[in-house]
């Protein structure tokens, strides 16, 4: 799903508890659940799980954008996801 070079780069540079690795894992789960829900439109428990994972990823990205804006922008571009909305 995600480019192997990016994933291996994170695995070599960072530990599995890092914000970047967690966002990568959540992004993979979100993409997998989204494709599942295209086939199974009435799977409401999976829809709920998807919303929970989206919220977790959003909170992590908000934290990461405050902590390190440069690495946050690199992560957003490499994962091809939208930036968080500023409030």
Domains present along the chain, CATH in parentheses: 19-79 (1.10.287.10)
Residue 84, pLDDT score:
78
Query: Between 19-39 and 44-67, two packed helices, what is the crossing angle to 10 degrees?
Result: 150
Nearest CA-CA partner of 23 in 66, 69, 61, 73: 61
The residues, any chain, with a CB within 8 Å of residue 63's CB and separated by 6 or more, are 19
pTM over 0.85: no
In this predicted model, what pLDDT tens digit does every residue of 23-79 receive, in sequence order?
999 999 999 999 999 999 999 999 999 999 999 999 999 999 999 999 999 999 999
C-alpha distances out from residue 40 to 9, 30, 34, 79, Å: 34, 15, 10, 25
Q: How far apart are the first and last CA of the chain?
A: 31
**Banded pLDDT at 83 (limits 50, 70, 90):** confident
């Amino acid at each position: 799903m995600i480019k192997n070079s990016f994933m291996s780069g994170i695995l070599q540079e960072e530990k599995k508890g890092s914000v970047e690795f967690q966002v990568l894992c959540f992004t993979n789960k979100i993409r997998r659940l989204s494709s599942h829900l295209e086939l199974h439109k009435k799977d409401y428990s999976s829809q709920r799980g998807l919303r929970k994972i989206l919220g977790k990823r959003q909170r992590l990205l908000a934290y990461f954008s405050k902590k390190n804006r440069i690495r946050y922008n690199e992560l957003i571009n490499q994962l091809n996801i939208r930036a968080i909305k500023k409030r």
